[in-house]
A and B are shown apart, each in its own frame.
Chain A
Amino acid sequence: MNNLEESKTFVASLESLEPMRDFVSQTGSNAGLNKKQIYGLCIAVDEIATNIILYGYQNSGIDNGLINIHTIFEKENFTVILEDSSTPFNPLETKIPDENELGLPLEERKIGGLGILMAKESVDEFRYEYKDGKNFNIFSVRPNDD
């Protein structure tokens, strides 16, 4: 199959989360991803976009922010890139709950870090880059995997 690239721009608001997931589901399905991979990408996109909307743009004082989503299918990889112009923020540097904390009874659990943990665990690769004043959160899955 030839390389396949698609992009779509969304207003950075919580109402955009569902259309974002729909866009990723559609392009992922066209690339032959299985249900679990599509769901995993939706989780990653949803969690990171939620952070960008609720914290990134809010902290930058920008109230008409945008999030661009690019999907790229080439060779063995399906990649989703979230691009935004809010405050630089690398989610991979956030402290996420470790195994001990995840094993605690809910009564003793701290509520936090779960979203980024889920984003990381739901895709094969999660990378972050900051360049030209923009955050790039990059998720990849391999369509031929089970």
Chain B
Amino acid sequence: MSFTVESKINENIARLTLTGALDSSTAPILQEEVMKIIPQNPLELVMYVEHLDFMASAGLRIIIFAKQKLGTQAKLILVKPQDQLIETLKMTGLIFSVVIVDQYPE
């Protein structure tokens, strides 16, 4: 299992599609995409994570970093996280800072 990220940004919405396993060896790939997005100041950062099978704290740190850089007005949306990822978001309190949806746009 590897990790891939696809990135698109238009009309103030950045979309990232994540697949595979996000750990400390693959987190730099996501970090690089997030660094490209931040200067464009999107109002929404949408992460499609249905096929993201594993996420370690290295991935959470990038989400926190992105939110800190984009500011309070920016919305962080996770589309279809797997149950285990929801567990992780709950145990780390990130659940309060992200919006979880089944599809986007709704």
**A binding-site residues for B, Cβ under 8 Å:** 14-15, 17-18, 21, 35-36, 39, 42-43, 46-47, 50, 53-54, 97, 101-107, 109, 111, 114-115, 117-118, 121-122
Contacts and interface: CB of A to CB of B under 8 A. Distances in A.
Main secondary structure of the interface of A (DSSP, over half): helix
A60 B71 CA distance: 39
Interface of B: 1, 21, 23-25, 54, 56-58, 60-61, 63-65, 67-68, 71-72, 76, 83-84, 87-88, 91-94, 96-97
Contacts of A42: 54
A50 B64 contact: no
A117 B97 contact: no
Contacts, number: 79
B88 A43 contact: yes
Contact of B60 (A15, A107, A114): A114
A118 B68 contact: no
A55 to B, nearest CB: 11
Given A14-B25, A36-B87, A105-B97, A118 B92 contact: yes
Contacts of B68: 106-107, 109
Contacts of A107: 67-68, 71-72
